[in-house]
Structure 1
Amino acid sequence: MTGAFRRVHLLVEGQTEEVVADSVIRPHLEGLGWVTSVSLVKTKRPAAGPSHKGGITGWAQVQRDVRLLLNDTSLDVLTTVFDYYAFPADCPGMADRPFGDVYERVEHVEHRLAEAVGDPRFRPNLVIHELEAWVFAAAEELGQLLGGELAARLRDDVHRAGGPELINDGPATAPSKRLLAYHPGYVKTIDGPLAVQDLGLARLRAACPHLDRWLGAFEG
């Protein structure tokens, strides 16, 4: 990126996304010249006491946080790190997704989210199918951290699916569910982010085309 000072904010779904955004995505964007900040969606705002953070329950919650962040006129771009897996059915674009591959379906939802907000600064991004797909891209690195035959099982799943982003999103077979089945001691907020950091962003992007396209929009 060239030109004047610019700000981007990453609105993320949960603690795992926050760790990866801070440790992997943020340094890359800042290396391109973006001033970058990160926050979690807020699940509810009680009358007294702090807001509860993390997790997406519906469109009203997402829209509220997005609009509040866009009230900051110094912000040039607001983007998201939300899982496509279990994304709320009432969000724009979910009910009329086209038939076709997952990339077409996700991009349809992202376009509808942008249209619903109606602010050109908003660039929604959904992770296919969830952030743990990025951990599957780091199969060797996770295997080195946790041992056993874990790396081989992850590699086999990636090969069968045709890529880490294509591992399906069934309630028992989504990437996060597979990781826990293969290694019950897996800690998603620690083990996954460490493996992704060890893999490095360049190799992660090579394995995850949707992630690569999202980041590429910041590099022009």
Structure 2
Amino acid sequence: MVRLYLFAEGQTEQTFADTLIKPHLAQHEVFMHYPRLIAHARKKGKVHRGGGRNYEPMKNDILRSLKEDSNPDAFFTTMIDLYAIAPDFPGLAEAESKRQNPVQRVEFLEQRFADDISDPRFIPYIQLHEYEAYLFADPTCFEYLDARRTKEIEALKAIANQHETPELINDGQQTAPSKRIIARFPDYEKAKPAFAPQLAERIGLQIIRSRCPHFNTWLSQLESLNTIRLG
């Protein structure tokens, strides 16, 4: 039996992973523990979780977990955003030269992350550019919030149609996927942890992965863990 630990940037990713990814992977005999929020600080011996805005606490959190469960059938992964990634993240300065190619940039950072953790059981995943990209896989999901907001939904569809994949919607402070959604559905901001996974569930995992190739590559890797377990 293969077990998987997932470190989530926030409650949105935590719920998404638990409700959509966990049951899906179980069909592939990969059993995920309840996703935990990634550490962002450690003060007076207490770990503070959620956010992932500081790399060292995040790294130490992962290393502790790797040490606590050293079984070769235990694997570890992340769901953190490229958007507003920790400024001390390994390779971040070097990755600036790849900014015009977001896929190459995120793959470079994931490799540097893997190199820094240095454990073959660790499978880093950085979201391009953030969780809300998944919701652009089918913006009609926003009918769940308010079916009368047809103009706003059409505007989100238009944004999605401008990009080869929702993962290429950029990471500007006002143009990141979440910012574009909030501009049309302001209520989303405060209720994001509740709304976001429900919206993704309405879209469905298969549609999301068909529109988001970087996400699909990661999920495919997780699906195959039972066949590549380390000995």
Q: Please, what TM-score do these two structures have when normalized by structure 2?
A: 0.88
Deviations 1:134-158 (A, max 9, x none): 1122311122332202321211111
Work out whether residues 93 and 110 of structure 1, in 8 Å CA contact, stay in contact via their aligned partners in 2.
no
Q: How many residues are paired up?
A: 215
User: What CA distance in whole angstroms lies between the structure 2 residues aligned with 1:197 and 1:55?
Assistant: 23
Amino acid at match of 2:106: V
Amino acid at match of 2:40: T
Deviations 1:143-193 (A, max 9, x none): 233220232121111111222111110001111111111111112112221
RMSD (Å), alpha carbons: 1.5
Q: Secondary structure at the match of 1:91?
A: coil
User: What CA distance in whole angstroms lies between the structure 1 residues aligned with 2:76 and 2:42?
Assistant: 21
Work out whether residues 92 and 113 of structure 1, in 8 Å CA contact, stay in contact via their aligned partners in 2.
yes
Q: Please, what TM-score do these two structures have when normalized by structure 1?
A: 0.92
Q: Secondary structure at the match of 2:120?
A: coil
More deviation, 136-145/59-68 = 136-145
Q: Aligned residue for 1:26?
A: 22
* 1:31-110 equivalences in 2 (<5 Å): 31-37=27-33, 38-47=35-44, 51-71=47-67, 72-74=69-71, 76-97=74-95, 98-99=97-98, 100-110=100-110
- Which is helix-richer, 1 or 2? 2
Residue 131 of structure 1: how far off its partner (Å): 0.2
Residue 93 of structure 1: how far off its partner (Å): 1.9
Work out whether residues 114 and 124 of structure 1, in 8 Å CA contact, stay in contact via their aligned partners in 2.
yes
User: What CA distance in whole angstroms lies between the structure 1 residues aligned with 2:207 and 2:13?
Assistant: 18
User: What CA distance in whole angstroms lies between the structure 2 residues aligned with 1:218 and 1:43?
Assistant: 25
Residue 33 of structure 1: how far off its partner (Å): 0.5
Q: Which runs of 5+ in 1 are unaligned?
A: none
Amino acid at match of 1:102: P
CA gap 1:14/1:36 in 2 versus in 1, 3 angstroms: same
User: What CA distance in whole angstroms lies between the structure 1 residues aligned with 2:196 and 2:42?
Assistant: 29
Deviations 1:109-151 (A, max 9, x none): 0000000111111110001000011112231112233220232
* 1:79-158 equivalences in 2 (<5 Å): 79-97=77-95, 98-99=97-98, 100-147=100-147, 148-149=149-150, 150-158=152-160
